[in-house]
């Protein structure tokens, strides 16, 4: 992605679609909710809510072993 100069991943596009594809391929999916974003907070929350049915949604702090 760096070679293509991509700086951000939109939660409601790349992250959501990749998570769905990974789930369909029987991967366990973890999304770091504060490491992705979209154009609006409402869109971000809606995308996370949608994929929370089959993904674990946590913060980067939780992922790194800290408490939120």
CA 25: distance to chain centroid? Answer: 17
Tell me the pLDDT tens digit for each residue of 30-68: 999 999 888 889 999 999 999 999 999 999 999 999 765
Half-sphere exposure of 47 (CA within 13 A, CB side): 25
CB 44 within 8 A of CB 13: no
The pLDDT of residue 9:
63
Residue 14, pLDDT > 80, answer yes
Stretch 10-35: mean pLDDT: 91
Do 27 and 36 form a contact (C-beta atoms < 8 A)? no
The pTM score is 0.77
Cα separation of 31 and 50, whole Å? Answer: 12
């Amino acid at each position: 992605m760096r070679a293509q100069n991509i700086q951000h991943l939109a939660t409601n596009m790349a992250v959501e679609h990749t998570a769905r594809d990974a789930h369909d391929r029987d991967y366990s999916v973890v999304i770091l909710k504060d490491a992705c974003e979209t154009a609006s907070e409402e869109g971000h929350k809606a995308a996370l809510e949608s994929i929370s049915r089959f993904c674990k949604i946590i913060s980067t702090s939780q992922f790194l072993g800290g408490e939120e």
